[in-house]
Amino acid sequence: MGTICAVDDAKCSSRAGAIPARRGPAVGLKGLFRQVIAWIVEREDKRLSRIALAELTDDQLADIGVTPLEARIEAARPFWN
């Protein structure tokens, strides 16, 4: 019985009796699903960061080198930007 290779078909095909893993639509959908989840997580991180920025005091903003106006502008941006 041959070995099923799922990671690197180039290495796998060089071995005697290796059976390359099948690539189908499910593999593409898994990749797309991962990209969508990564996009959602990134946008949620931005949203939470902007909420935290909006809650900082003027002294805290001065400590990080941001003016209150810059903080308000950044906090008002929509999450998809």
Residue 8 has pLDDT above 60, yes or no: no
Q: Say if CB 13 and CB 20 are below 8 A apart.
A: yes
pLDDT digits (tens, 9 = 90+) for 21-75: 666 776 788 889 999 999 999 999 999 999 999 999 999 999 999 999 999 999 9
What band does 79 get if pLDDT is binned at 50, 70 and 90?
confident
Q: How many CA atoms lie within 13 A of 50 on its CB side?
A: 17
Q: Say if CB 15 and CB 8 are below 8 A apart.
A: no
Tell me the domain boundaries of the chain: 25-81
Q: What is the DSSP letter of 20?
A: E
pLDDT for the residue 12: 56
pLDDT for the residue 7: 57
pLDDT for the residue 29: 85
